[in-house]
Amino acid sequence: MNINSIDDLSRAAKRAIFLAVDSLLVPIALYCAFALRYGTATPWMPIADSWVLFPVLTMWGVGIIWALRLHRIKLNAFDTHSMANIALAALFLTGSAIILSYVLNLSAPRSVPVLLGLFFCMFAVCARLCGLSLLRWVSQNHSNRKPVAIYGAGAAGIQLAAALRQASEARPVFFIDDNPTLHGLMVAGLPVYGPDKLGKLISVRGIEQILLAVPSMTKERRDEVIAKLGAYDVEVRVLPSYVELMSGKGLMQSLHTVAPDQLLGRDKVALDTPEIAKTYAGRVVMVTGAGGSIGSELCRQLLNCNPARIILFEQGEFQLYTIDQELQAEAKATGIPVIARLGSVTNKARVTGVIAEEGVEIILHAAAYKHVPLVEENELEGARNNVLGTQVVAEAAAAAKLERFILISTDKAVRPTNIMGATKRMAELVVQDTQTRHDATKFAMVRFGNVLGSSGSVLPLFQKQIARGGPVTVTHKDVTRFFMTIPEAARLVLLAGAYAKGGDVFVLDMGEPQKIIDIAHRMITLSGRKVKDPKTGVGDIEIKVTGLRPGEKLYEELLIDDDSLRPTPHAKILRAQEGMLSQIEVASMVRELQGSITEADTVRLRRLIAARVEGYHVQENDSQVS
């Protein structure tokens, strides 16, 4: 039997079947009432004396079934409320049979109507339970639904099991719970076992996923449970919030893989400070690159700072449309206007026009080409956007005497080995120079490490590779990176705006750098799979070392000069006063850069970078496969 053939029936067809079955149960229940009352399976004489009850009650029963909407009860949603409706229908049938017997002066005993109601109620409930059992049997034995175990037999676990029974992606098999009083019981139709039996049950029942459904569990306890579950050859997923379930996604899409925040190698940094709200409240804030990972998060967090207006500036039409649509609903609720403006940061007239038109007071400059391999192969466009674009926006901010200008930079700008990092360092030099010539505006820069979950970061790439079954590609076994979350990155930018004194560089204390290959190992383990041993071939996902890409560094640094560090009001945020070029040197650098772009001369550009960017060097390409 194919369950899809049942599911594909129209709603009207399903209701017609239920109506027909319930209608047929009325004469069957009446016959059983006579049979039980007279103690024989062939009560033909008594039935003959009261035969009129059969057609009249059957037709009347159809009306009762229709009025009480018994034919609209979904099998998967059959509950006590549905049973109460069936009992009410049985009560109406009993009353109708009694009234009909009196009106027609029939000889049938008065106990027959009562038995009729009892039999109808019993048969209608049993018919639905049998139908539900049949559907579940077909679903379990003739479908591709993934068998899953639910960790947590509380309210959330019970609701999850009920939802999964109606989902097409997975079917719940049993509960796992730490509470020993629940072990051996049946909850929501599923057996409950202790964690000590999980290993054997996974093998016997063919479990492919474990769904952690204990929202009230503390983060420490949840991490402990996840670590224990990671020892089994299954994927571990965490029950999402109700907001995610209501977002319109399918259930299994909403159940997300264990959040990789643990990969930070440190606790998240708390960056909620009153300075942020004071700095942006009542101001008109413009975010360039508003459709990017950092730019869009900045816009979301700005809504909580009560600005006068938020200006979304983005050259990508689709990216601008996406973030504008996302923010408009919340913007209406908070009363903060969100205005979308298409344009490139390299277009001076457009940038200047938007600043003047909207009365911008603060600019958060997140627009940049940031993907190392792409910029390495398109260095002229990378330089045009990252350097000249920054100069255009910074000069426009200075000319309009804006309050603040914050540049989002990168740790790759420190002693860079690639064009992307070099252009970001040049952008920093341009901003530092602009500050020396314009005191009315406070210019500052923020350097990030790698941002968890942003486009182009290793985590989305690893997740896709793991989902495909591998291999997970790592460029070098010793490559390390600093990591931070998107909210941390966006919050750091907002704090930099609050702490800015002029020409300073802000960095976040991100703990120790993480080895990328270690992150690959942890992500594979968290996804419920095992790293394949290259010698024995045992395991699920292979980690393949591919060799450093052009311009890629083994490790990143946040500071050019560690001795330049200065404290800020926040213990985890540091300010650096770094060396800079003179105004004449910056002007010469920009002229040479413009000449390189105009003549499409990449050799000239790289020569300029080598001369002007401190510490720039080409990374040796050593794959270190062993």
pLDDT tens figures, 85-126: 888 888 888 888 888 887 777 767 778 888 888 888 888 888
379: confidence class by pLDDT, cuts 50, 70, 90:
very high
Per-residue pLDDT tens digits for 176-187: 998 888 898 888
Helices of type H across 335-383:
348-358, 372-377, 379-383
Average pLDDT over residues 282-286: 94
Same domain, 53 and 108: yes
Q: Is 525 contained in some domain?
A: no
Asked whether residue 169 carries a pLDDT value surpassing 80, the answer given is no
pLDDT of residue 3: 46
Domain total of the chain: 3
Same domain, 120 and 159: no
559: confidence class by pLDDT, cuts 50, 70, 90:
very low
Same domain, 222 and 312: no
Q: Residue holding tokens 């459709």?
A: 291
Same domain, 243 and 171: yes
Q: Is 216 contained in some domain?
A: yes
Per-residue pLDDT tens digits for 330-352: 888 888 999 999 999 999 999 99
Spatial neighbors of 458 by CB under 8 A, at least 6 apart, are 450, 481, 516, 519
Same domain, 108 and 55: yes
Last residue of a domain, one of 87, 119, 140: 140
Average pLDDT over residues 223-232: 78
Asked whether residue 262 carries a pLDDT value surpassing 60, the answer given is no
Q: Is 192 contained in some domain?
A: yes
pTM, two decimals, is 0.57
pLDDT of residue 208: 82
Same domain, 189 and 285: no
258: confidence class by pLDDT, cuts 50, 70, 90:
very low
Spatial neighbors of 230 by CB under 8 A, at least 6 apart, are 236, 525, 526, 528
Q: What share of the chain has pLDDT > 70, as a percent? A: 81
Same domain, 443 and 561: yes
DSSP 261: G
pLDDT of residue 248: 45
Same domain, 116 and 183: no
pLDDT of residue 366: 92
Q: Is 118 contained in some domain?
A: yes
Same domain, 442 and 578: yes
Which CATH number do you get for residue 426?
Answer: 3.40.50.720
Same domain, 427 and 340: yes
Q: Is 579 contained in some domain?
A: yes
What is the domain range of residue 78?
Answer: 3-140
Asked whether residue 453 carries a pLDDT value surpassing 60, the answer given is no
The torsion defined by the Cα of 420, 426, 431 and 432, in degrees rounded to 10, comes to 130
Q: Is 470 contained in some domain?
A: no
Same domain, 133 and 154: no
Q: Is 516 contained in some domain?
A: no
Q: What share of the chain has pLDDT > 90, as a percent? A: 24
Task: Identify the helix (H) or strand (E) that includes residue 437.
Answer: helix 419-437
Specify the higher pLDDT residue, 526 or 362: 362
Same domain, 355 and 320: yes
Q: How far apart are CA 321 and CA 4, in angstroms?
A: 38
Q: Helix (H, G, I), strand (E, B), or coil: what is residue 247?
A: coil
Q: Is 341 contained in some domain?
A: yes
Tell me the residue ranges of DSSP E strands in 557-616: 565-567, 573-576
Q: How far apart are CA 60 and CA 93, in angstroms?
A: 8
Q: Helix (H, G, I), strand (E, B), or coil: what is residue 53?
A: helix
